[in-house]
Amino acid sequence: MLKRGLTRGFTMIEVLIGIVVLAILLGLGAPSFMVWMQNVQIRNAADAVLNGMQLARTEAIRRNKPVQFALSSGSGWNINIVKPSASDPANPIQKRTAKEGSAKVDVAATPGGAYAVTFDAMGGPTTNADGSLTITALDFTSQVSTDAPRPLRIVVSLSGTIRMCDPKAPAGDTRACS
């Protein structure tokens, strides 16, 4: 009588079933992953701009002179002293490019056409040196899709406080932009 040896491993059918199950799970999870990635990029861009605006405001108060936060391409920005003196460091104080974690994010300023906000020595927004419109709000949306990702907004108040909010949050929610 022949003895059959102990077989190890998987049969071809078991491997194929495992691959099919994995493919189905990946197919179901991919759309959610894409929305999550878009939300992360929107959040990165909004956080970077919020931090840049707060830095510009802090530098204006610390230096006791106007400092401007100016948007560049995409969600990139520069922080500059408005009228630098010989003792001031070279401009820009700090800058960020849109490629730093948020290349697929659109930024829209309110009012339309505004690209900068200048903070005075007291930390409040003031007229831009070139006479351009002053940013009062920035909206961040995805370039990839407008349906699923959650947009964010940064609002600059008349007193100079800068706040991030969710324009789609219901009224009464602490995240709302009311």
Q: Find the CATH number of the domain harbouring 152.
A: 3.55.40.10
What is the per-residue pLDDT for 86?
74
124 inside domain? yes
Is 174 within the bounds of a domain? Answer: no
Query: In this predicted structure, what is the pLDDT of residue 1?
Result: 59
Residue 154 contacts residue 138 (beta carbons within 8 Å): yes
| Per-residue model confidence (pLDDT) at position 146 | 62
Residues of the chain below pLDDT 70: 1-7, 101, 146-148
For residue 35, is it within any domain? Answer: yes
pLDDT, position 82: 87
pTM equals 0.79
Q: Which domain holds residue 110?
A: 12-165
**Per the domain annotation, does 155 fall within a domain?**
yes
Number of domains in the chain: 1
Q: What is the DSSP string of the chain?
A: -PPPPPP-S--HHHHHHHHHHHHHHHHHHHHHHHHHHHHHHHHHHHHHHHHHHHHHHHHHHHHTS-EEEEE-STT-EEEEESS--TTSPPSPSEEE-TTTT-TTEEEEEESTT--EEEE-TTS-EE--TT-PPBP-EEEEEESS-SSSSPPEEEEE-TT--EEEEBTTSPTT-TTB--
pLDDT at 89: 73
